[in-house]
Structure 1
Amino acid sequence: MEIVKNIMDKVLSGVCAALLSFMTLLATYQVITRYVFSSPSTMSEDLLSYSFVWVSLLGTALVFGQKDHMKLSIFSDNFTGTKLFALSIFTELLIMTIAVIVFLFGGTQVVGVGAIQISPTLNISMEWIYIVLPISGVLIVVYNVINIIQLVQRFTESKKEGIL
């Protein structure tokens, strides 16, 4: 599982880095066309907005996978052993449930609506923009499953070693 997670981390990090680089170049182009040539590009503005959505949602999946998301440690700081393990599993399952409902089911519906919409400036189907919702949902769920497996492995190892 660690190998799969490392591969996912590297691929997602690379995609996010590429998107951020693309966005930087696009923003620079936009500033130059607007202020130097007095001819703003609406296409680059939309592309920048869509890229921002993609990098945000893919970055969200990456952050959940690395467990770097914001969390209230008021509960987890007070628990140890089996209680901390149960809370960690519950947290992963809660995140997974939200990802399935919002990103997978909701995102799939949004993609369906986007299939009948065309971006006026880019002249592409909006489903290509919205497809990132179910993609990030799948990634979050896969990360949740990996995190749960790792939690169980660490918990059982700790029990065997007599730490818990």
Structure 2
Amino acid sequence: MEKIRSVMDKALAAICALLLAFMTVLATYQVITRYVFKAPSTMSEDMLSYSFVWVSLLGAALVFGQKNHMRLSLLSDKFKGASGLVLSIFTELLIIAIAVIVFLVGGIDFVGVGALQASPTLNITMDFVYAILPLSGILIIIYNVLNIIQSIQKFNDSEKEELQ
């Protein structure tokens, strides 16, 4: 399981880094065309917006995988042992439910609507842009399943240590 997580982490981190580098170059190009040449590029503005959405959602999936997302530990710190495991699994299942409803179901609907829309400046259908919603939903679900497995393994390991 750690191998899967490691590969996903490295791939997502690399993709996010490439997108951020691309966005930096694009923003620099946009500033130069706007202020130096007095001819702003609308194409780069749209590409920058779409790239920002992609890097944000891919970054969110990565953060869920690393359990670095913002959370209130007030409740989870009070539960240890089996009750802590139950709370951890419940939390992960709740996130999976939200990812399925919002990202997968909602995202697939958005992709369907996006197929009927076109970006006027880039001349592409918007389903390519909206495809990040179900993709990030799948990544979040995979990460949360891995988190559940990891929580169970840690609990079992701690139980074994207590018996020795």
TM-score by length of 2: 0.98
Instruction: Report the alpha carbon displacement of residue 153 of structure 1 after superposing the two structures with TM.
Output: 0.8
Kindly indicate whether residue 161 of structure 2 is the aligned counterpart of residue 152 of structure 1: no
Q: Within 2, Cα distance between the matches of 1:88 and 1:80?
A: 10
Q: Within 2, Cα distance between the matches of 1:76 and 1:152?
A: 16
Residue pairs, 1:44-123, within 5 angstroms: 44-123=44-123
TM-score by length of 1: 0.98
Q: Within 1, Cα distance between the matches of 2:7 and 2:73?
A: 29
* 150-159 vs 32-41, greater mean Cα deviation: 150-159
Give the aligned length.
163
Q: Within 2, Cα distance between the matches of 1:103 and 1:112?
A: 13
Root mean square deviation, CA, Å: 0.8
Structure 2 equivalent of residue 18 of structure 1? 18
Amino acid at match of 1:44: S
Instruction: Report the alpha carbon displacement of residue 80 of structure 1 after superposing the two structures with TM.
Output: 1.2
Instruction: Report the alpha carbon displacement of residue 82 of structure 1 after superposing the two structures with TM.
Output: 1.2
Structure 2 equivalent of residue 134 of structure 1? 134
Q: Within 2, Cα distance between the matches of 1:136 and 1:110?
A: 13
Q: Within 1, Cα distance between the matches of 2:73 and 2:10?
A: 28
Q: Within 1, Cα distance between the matches of 2:74 and 2:153?
A: 25
Amino acid at match of 1:16: C
Q: Within 2, Cα distance between the matches of 1:120 and 1:23?
A: 20
Q: Indicate the percent of aligned positions where both proteins have the same amino acid.
A: 67
Q: Within 2, Cα distance between the matches of 1:140 and 1:73?
A: 20
Unaligned runs of 5+ in 1: none
Structure 2 equivalent of residue 29 of structure 1? 29
Amino acid at match of 1:41: S
Q: Deviations over 1:106-159 (max 9, x none)?
A: 000000000010100000010000000000000000001111111111111111
Runs of 4+ in structure 1 displaced over 4 angstroms?
none
Determine helix, strand or coil for the equivalent of 1:110. helix
Q: Within 2, Cα distance between the matches of 1:155 and 1:78?
A: 16
